[in-house]
Structure 1
């Protein structure tokens, strides 16, 4: 199954009970994710159900996924890895795998097959981008804007650079990913040429020059929950964040926020297991992961947030929001109405160039 097929699926098949003997399994587990509405969707869809199946299990949740690579490097060097399971983007998962900080797995051995018997490797298909990466969701980074602070509805992602038509502060993520691509797109670079351009010194300089035009008007965020809050407080007129965070602000909190889907950036998110966990902790994590990534559980997560499950068999099971009762498929980034202009984030490319461009980006911020 190709990644394109997964991206076009927008939705989660009755799973199997994974209740297992607690013998030889740790009685506690630290799960690291991104906080906010996304981590809450994980808690609701599979952490709480798993705890109910395993009375007495303590699950500690951490919100440090944005610093996963740095912190796992430090833990490994200190010989004290305290995390058991970490939610990361595909590019970060590939980096951690390449550095030996994440455990390589056999997806068909560790993960449940689809209800019809299709092996996990086929059900997840092209979303398995690394021997260490366990896919969960397809998401996008896109833009939200205050509907009551604009005179005309923005239609193009390049509105972020148009301070004349859309005066006011913007919010952009405090890292190069996404920002450099949008800067080049809005500076006239053809979509198919973006990464080739970024491989040149001149291309990187061109992207930073475009970002210079709004640098003084930008609030830089590190956590996905920040932009929705900045928008809700009226501190920014528009800003980038993950589509599920905007869905939560719009549909659940009824904030005066609109969604801009133009050139949204598709990406993958999933789990990695830190390398060299003690046997009892690894046994617990493997038991949890098999449960949490089965067909039904990934569909259940879509009841709480508008991210598309990475398993093909989960898509037909995406239904209504657990509390609002609204159909979730139209709110997925993969819905045809939302996916007219999409940019497929190149996680392979970023896995290779991330460290260097991170350094350049942080230096640019300090200029």
Structure 2
């Protein structure tokens, strides 16, 4: 993991002991962490004087679980996916979070009514809604470009290498939808042996043409380097490549996989008080709207949506690039965190065995 120290000259806030003047925050790195640093970390430091140490991990749930189980915790706060938040909470590895501590919306609406459905969990508070989507290199398909999830699996019509997440989650759901399963029926199908076979059979059709990835920064780089012509990946990463870096990419929203990322605090966090203060600060209405200036992930609070405007370039409207834009949600796979909390181990074992075969 790479550590980046973010320094501040602000005074120590009243009520915080000198020994509690630093928090370690683990997130996913890249453009996503940059958006958090700009929207959350820097203003929090200026307000409180508490230093934020930003740490990158391919999946923050992994070091968090290892540290708590080893009884040697250095993480104060981590950004994790919804299914991981539920699983870690069920395993007793996280601090409970009372939603009553969260700030209300500017009009006084309680946080419990302001966050979108599913965003508040027993041990977690969501900050963003994000999508796993397909992106392609527009220079490879100047005429009749791909437009559906099924096109990703059509090597005859759209030849070339594909990038794909090296994991059962998302890859198997997307395969089923590409094979004709309605998004609302995906988990009913995937919960059967026949459904698992069907998902892997669909993945078999492109297996020999797949370049596997496991870190969020990889898909845009695979496209930019010409190693693949299409890849799945996180919509915000592709947005950054397209808008901030000017890459000739476009996104296929059909069959996007919609999920949350949430803040969690591990049991034994060295600065529990500071972590709670940061959590409250970073999930208020303004901070969640501010993050959308830097990356195209939807805020988890309803009151933040009207405050989302332009990208930091001052000319790109963020709305059309949000996974929650109505135009982008016509064929959405909504994650089922309970399903994955229950079936992640067995499906990952099956997927890995298929990969090795």
Q: TM-score range by the shorter chain?
A: over 0.9
Gaps of 5+ in 1: 1-17
TM-score with structure 1 length normalisation?
0.90
Gaps of 5+ in 2: 1-11
Residues 127-206 of structure 1 aligned to structure 2 (within 5 Å)? 127-150=118-141, 151-206=143-198
Q: Is the CA contact 1:264–1:341 (under 8 Å) kept in the aligned structure 2?
A: yes
Q: Could you tell me which residue of structure 2 aligns to residue 63 of structure 1?
A: 56
Deviations 1:79-131 (A, max 9, x none): 1011110001111110111111111110112x111111111111114133520
CA distance in 2, matches of 1:233, 1:125: 38
CA distance in 1, matches of 2:207, 2:281: 45
Q: Could you tell me which residue of structure 1 aligns to residue 39 of structure 2?
A: 45
CA distance in 2, matches of 1:183, 1:337: 22
Q: Could you tell me which residue of structure 2 aligns to residue 126 of structure 1?
A: 117
2:295 aligned with 1:265: no
Does the residue aligned with 2:312 lie in a helix, a strand or coil? coil
Higher relative contact order, structure no. (Cα contacts within 8 Å, ≥ 6 residues apart): 1
1:65 positional shift: 5.2
CA distance in 1, matches of 2:109, 2:13: 21
Residue number among 25, 45, 54 corresponding to 2:48 in the alignment:
54
1:74 positional shift: 2.0
2:351 aligned with 1:361: yes
Q: Could you tell me which residue of structure 1 aligns to residue 6 of structure 2?
A: none
Residues 1-367 of structure 1 aligned to structure 2 (within 5 Å)? 20-23=14-17, 26-55=20-49, 57-64=50-57, 66=59, 68-109=60-101, 111-150=102-141, 151-278=143-270, 281-367=271-357
Aligned length: 345
Deviations 1:201-254 (A, max 9, x none): 121111111111111111111111100011111110000011111111111111
Cα 1:328/1:31, change in 2 over 3 Å:
same
Q: Which stretch has the larger CA shift, 188-197 or 169-178?
A: 188-197
Deviations 1:159-203 (A, max 9, x none): 111111111111111111111112112223233322111111121
CA distance in 2, matches of 1:191, 1:330: 22
Q: Could you tell me which residue of structure 2 aligns to residue 9 of structure 1?
A: none
CA distance in 2, matches of 1:241, 1:305: 14
Deviations 1:6-65 (A, max 9, x none): xxxxxxxxxxxx96532366122111111111110000101011122234x432212215
Cα 1:20/1:349, change in 2 over 3 Å:
farther
CA distance in 1, matches of 2:275, 2:63: 19
Deviations 1:238-282 (A, max 9, x none): 00011111111111111011111111111111100101324xx00
Q: Provide the aligned C-alpha RMSD in A.
A: 1.7
Does the residue aligned with 1:46 lie in a helix, a strand or coil? helix
CA distance in 2, matches of 1:217, 1:23: 56
Q: Is the CA contact 2:163–2:211 (under 8 Å) kept in the aligned structure 1?
A: yes
